[in-house]
Amino acid sequence: MSDKLQFVDRYLMSATSDKLKFVEHRAPLNSDEPTTLLEIYDRVVRDHPKPDTLNYKHDGVWNSVSAAEMLQRARDIAAGLHSLGVRKGDRVAILSESCLEWVLSDQGCILSGAVGVPIYPTLTPAQVSYILKDCGARVVFISTSEKLKQVESELKHCPTIEHVVLFDSNDPNPATVLSLRELEEKGRALQSQFPELISDLARKAKPEDLATIIYTSGTTGEPKGVMLTHANMVSNLISSSNHFEFDERDVALSVLPLSHIFERQAMNMYLHHGLSVYFGSLETLGENLKEVRPTVFVGVPRIYEKIIARVQERAAEKGKLNARVVAWAVETGKRWGRLSASHGSVPISLAIKHRLADMIVLEKLRKAMGSRIRILVSGGAALSAEVALAFLGARLPIVQGYGLTETSPVITAGRLQDNRVGTAGKPIRDVAVRIASDGEIETRGPHVMLGYWNKPAETRAAFTDDGWFKTGDIGRKKELLKTSGGKYIAPQPIEQLIKRSRFVNQVVVIGNGRRFPAALIVPDWQQLEGYAKYKGFELCSRAEFRRDPRIIDLFARQIAARTQDLAQFEKIKRIALLEKELTLEGGELTPTLKVKRRVIDEKYRDVIDRIYEE
pLDDT at 491 over 80: yes
Largest separation between any pair of C-alpha atoms in the chain: 80
Q: Are 448 and 232 in contact (CB under 8 A)?
A: yes
| CATH number for the segment(s) 33-205+245-292 | 3.40.50.12780
pLDDT at 332 over 70: yes
Which of these CATH numbers, 3.40.50.150, 3.40.50.970, 3.30.1050.10, 3.30.300.30, describes 480-613?
A: 3.30.300.30
Q: Are 397 and 420 in contact (CB under 8 A)?
A: no
Q: How far apart are CA 541 and CA 132, in angstroms?
A: 45
Average pLDDT over residues 344-356: 94
pLDDT digits (tens, 9 = 90+) for 65-76: 999 999 999 999
Residue of higher predicted confidence among 21 and 123: 123
Question: For the residues of 271-321, what is the DSSP string, one character each?
Answer: HHTT-EEEE--STTHHHHHHHH--SEEEE-HHHHHHHHHHHHHHHHHT-HH
What is residue 462's predicted lDDT score, i.e. its pLDDT? 95
Alpha helices in 48-124 (DSSP H): 67-83, 100-112
What is residue 115's predicted lDDT score, i.e. its pLDDT? 98
Residues in Cβ contact with 248 at an 8 Å cutoff, skipping those fewer than 6 apart: 48, 50, 273, 274, 275
Average pLDDT over residues 251-262: 96
Per DSSP, the three-state class of 465 is: coil
Q: Are 400 and 361 in contact (CB under 8 A)?
A: no
Q: How confident is the model at residue 175 (pLDDT cuts 50, 70, 90)?
A: low
Q: Partners of 9 in the beta sheet?
A: 25
Q: Are 575 and 552 in contact (CB under 8 A)?
A: yes
Instruction: Please choose, from the candidates 500, 607, 515, 481, the residue with its C-alpha nearest in 3D space to the C-alpha of residue 563.
Output: 500
What is residue 144's predicted lDDT score, i.e. its pLDDT? 94
Q: Are 374 and 252 in contact (CB under 8 A)?
A: no
Alpha helices in 451-519 (DSSP H): 456-461, 491-498
Q: How far apart are CA 225 and CA 204, in angstroms?
A: 25
Helix (H) or strand (E) holding 601: helix 597-603
Average pLDDT over residues 60-69: 97
Dihedrals phi, psi of 347, to nearest 5 degrees? -60, 150
Instruction: Please choose, from the candidates 513, 503, 529, 521, the residue with its C-alpha nearest in 3D space to the C-alpha of residue 572.
Output: 521
How much of the chain exceeds pLDDT 70, in percent? 92
Q: Which CA distances in Å does 141 have to 163, 297, 314?
A: 9, 27, 41
Dihedrals phi, psi of 506, to nearest 5 degrees? -140, 150
CA dihedral 317, 319, 323, 324 (to 10 degrees): 170
> Where exactly are the structural domains of the chain?
33-205+245-292, 480-613
Per DSSP, the three-state class of 136 is: coil
Per-state percent for the chain, helix, strand, coil, to nearest 5: 40, 20, 35
pLDDT at 171 over 80: no
Q: Are 365 and 396 in contact (CB under 8 A)?
A: yes
pLDDT digits (tens, 9 = 90+) for 466-487: 999 999 887 455 667 888 777 8
Q: How far apart are CA 227 and CA 213, in angstroms?
A: 5
Instruction: Please choose, from the candidates 169, 191, 192, the residue with its C-alpha nearest in 3D space to the C-alpha of residue 180.
Output: 169
Q: Are 521 and 574 in contact (CB under 8 A)?
A: no
Average pLDDT over residues 366-381: 94
Question: For the residues of 373-425, what is the DSSP string, one character each?
Answer: --EEEE-SSPPPHHHHHHHHHTT--EEEEEE-GGGSSEEEE--STT--TT---
Residues in Cβ contact with 39 at an 8 Å cutoff, skipping those fewer than 6 apart: 234
User: Omega before 427 cis (within 30°)?
Assistant: no
> Strand pairing of 251-254 and 469-470?
unpaired
Residue of higher predicted confidence among 507 and 438: 507
Q: How far apart are CA 483 and CA 511, in angstroms?
A: 6
